[in-house]
Structure 1
Amino acid sequence: MTLDQLAAFVAVAERQHLTQAAAALNLSSSAVSSAIKALETMHGVALFHRVGRGIELTSAGRRFLPEAREMLLRARGAERLLDELAGIERGVIELQASQTIANYWLPPRLMRFHAQYPGIEVKLQLGNTTTVTDAVISGAAELGFIEGTIDEPALTSQRVASDRLMIVTSSRLPHDATPLVSTEDLLSLSWVMREPGSGTRSVFEAALRAHNVDPARLDVVMTLPSNEAVLSAVRHSAAATALSEAVVAPFLHNGDLHALPFALDLREFTLLRHKERPLSAVARAFETHCRSFTTSDHFI
């Protein structure tokens, strides 16, 4: 049994999807499939049922999953100890971040960090607020970055940037020149939204409640799992959405989208770490790197 085989098993088990697991591991689907097949053959046990095009854990796979996760955590702990002994000239840091942060805020900061520590390997996975929080709690990621704030006793959180949501529609639609959109106007629109659990949706719904609007009253015609999918749907429809200003700015500039004049407060981008699990030297260095921007860093 190898760590690569364990990592392949856990990745597929957590996603119930071979292609998504392979993408998360930066491997081909055939390599992940071969690793799992080798593990099953070596120990004479089936870990997954192949049902049509789907995949699901067998009872043996469900029993093995917690142990496999624990073994990977212990292996990561051993790697971090070696990184500590070697200083921060080399090592690995595992991060998870929600989509807006991972696609817009983190990349330039990762490049600056790489310039300072070229021997450090950064492993970044995308998620949403819920999945990123779970990853930091479980130890799958040392640091997490989410949009908004959470109340999770196991974690500490720190603001690292500010961001603003904007309500936008296609510029092909007729628009009034009114100075402000009312809450009733919002309720008359059709909406395309990010999935429940995403920071963008959670922050927008909280902002609506602050304006005494129940989010459940919105006419949500479609829920999509990425900013890009939401943008594409809104640009080619009569629906509205709320996304980060950094996400919609290019489309506002070229005239594809129109911003509705409805004021939304700034939201926070938050760094998460576990209260009781010590950070590796590499993670501490990156945490310090992110903190160096907090006094004046605005996302937009």
Structure 2
Amino acid sequence: MTLEQLAIFVAVAEREHITRAAEAINMTPSAVSSAIKALETSHGIRLFERVGRGIELSGVGQAFLPEARRTLSAARQAAGLLDDLGGLRAGHISIHASQTIANYWLPPRMLGFAKRYSGISIAFEAGNTKSVAKAVLEGDAEIGFIEGSIDEPALDPTHVYSDELVAVVSKSTHTLPANPTALDAYRWIVREKGSGTRTEFEHGLGAIGLTVADFDVALTLPTNEAVLNAVLNSSSAAALSRLVVAPFLASGQLRLLDVTLPPRHFTMLHHKERRLSAAAKAFKQICVAPELASRAR
């Protein structure tokens, strides 16, 4: 059994799909299938069962998955120690981030890091707040970035940025009165439950005495870009990060509703019981010191 086989097994187990797992770990589906078959053959077990046209974990696979994750996490910790001893000349860092951060805030900081530490490779995956926290808890990500906060005692949070949620409509939509209670006169496009944007929007509404249940929700969509395009092509409203809507406000394609939502924080997470590698510490420094990111672009 090799670490590569373990990583392939975990990727397939988490997705229960050969092709999606192959895409996530940058391999061909045939190579992934061969690795799983070799692992099963060498130990005389079945890790997956065919169900219709799909696959799912067998009982053996379900029992093995936690140990496979622990082993990979320990291997990453050992590799991180060697990277530290090498003085950041080579190494690897795994980062997960929720969508707004992944698409709008994190890329320039990743670029700044890559220019300063060209020998450190970055594995990056976007998700939502719940999936990012889960990845850090299970050791799939050394650090994670979420919008807002999460109640998880095992994770150590660090505030890295203050963001602003704004409520917007397309330029062709009529203006509502300034009274915040008028927000329920709109149809709304909202993000899915579990996303940082949705959670922080609900918190903001609570501060002005409203809930999402008070609204006529036309659509619930899984990405900022889907929400944004729906709003641009309808008379519906949405709450999105100012980072997302800034170009459309500047061009006049969107207009702000007269409501103030409380600021939200972007938070970096790492596991309290796992040593933060030198590479992760360097990345954290770039995130909390904006001048380092801009200087390195």
Fold-level match, TM-score > 0.5? Answer: yes
Structure 1 distance, partners of 2:95, 2:157, is 15
Q: CA deviation at 1:177?
A: 6.6
C-alpha offsets along residues 102-138 of structure 1, whole Å, 9 cap, x if unaligned? 1111111111111111111111111111111112222
Q: CA deviation at 1:188?
A: 2.5
| Structure 2 counterpart of 1:33, one-letter code | S
- Flag structure 1 segments of 5+ consecutive residues without an equivalent: none
| Structure 1 counterpart of 2:85, one-letter code | L
2:233 paired residue number? 236
1:78 paired residue number? 78
Which range moved further: 18-27 or 103-112?
18-27
C-alpha offsets along residues 215-267 of structure 1, whole Å, 9 cap, x if unaligned? 22222232222111222222223322111111112223334333222111221
Structure 2 distance, partners of 1:30, 1:186, is 52
Residue number among 202, 222, 234 corresponding to 2:199 in the alignment: 202
The correspondence of residues 1-300 of structure 1 with structure 2, limited to 5 A, is 1-173=1-173, 175-176=174-175, 178=177, 180-183=178-181, 185-293=182-290
Could you say what secondary structure the match of 1:93 adopts? strand
Closer/same/farther in 2, CA of residues 84 and 214 from structure 1, 3 Å limit = same
Could you say what secondary structure the match of 2:290 adopts? coil
Q: CA deviation at 1:181?
A: 4.6
Structure 2 distance, partners of 1:123, 1:256, is 35
Give yes or no for contact 2:98–2:132 (8 Å, CA) kept in 1: yes
| Structure 2 counterpart of 1:80, one-letter code | G
Structure 2 distance, partners of 1:107, 1:269, is 14
Give yes or no for contact 2:180–2:258 (8 Å, CA) kept in 1: no
| Structure 1 counterpart of 2:271, one-letter code | H
Q: TM-score, normalised by structure 1?
A: 0.90
Give yes or no for contact 1:128–1:146 (8 Å, CA) kept in 2: yes
The number of aligned residues is: 292
Structure 1 distance, partners of 2:252, 2:210, is 29
Could you say what secondary structure the match of 2:239 adopts? strand
Give yes or no for contact 2:190–2:219 (8 Å, CA) kept in 1: yes
C-alpha offsets along residues 159-189 of structure 1, whole Å, 9 cap, x if unaligned? 111111111223333x1274x2522x22222
Give yes or no for contact 1:170–1:238 (8 Å, CA) kept in 2: yes
Could you say what secondary structure the match of 1:89 adopts? coil
Structure 2 distance, partners of 1:186, 1:38, is 58
Closer/same/farther in 2, CA of residues 116 and 60 from structure 1, 3 Å limit = same
Structure 1 distance, partners of 2:217, 2:35, is 42
Structure 1 distance, partners of 2:283, 2:256, is 35
C-alpha offsets along residues 91-112 of structure 1, whole Å, 9 cap, x if unaligned? 1011111111111111111111
Structure 2 distance, partners of 1:55, 1:234, is 38
Q: CA deviation at 1:13?
A: 1.3
Structure 1 distance, partners of 2:17, 2:236, is 31
- Flag structure 2 segments of 5+ consecutive residues without an equivalent: none
Q: CA RMSD in A?
A: 2.0
| Structure 1 counterpart of 2:159, one-letter code | R
Q: CA deviation at 1:28?
A: 3.2
Structure 2 distance, partners of 1:234, 1:103, is 19
Structure 2 distance, partners of 1:214, 1:26, is 42
Q: CA deviation at 1:269?
A: 0.8
Could you say what secondary structure the match of 2:189 adopts? strand
Structure 1 distance, partners of 2:73, 2:167, is 41
Closer/same/farther in 2, CA of residues 29 and 274 from structure 1, 3 Å limit = same
Q: TM-score, normalised by structure 2?
A: 0.91
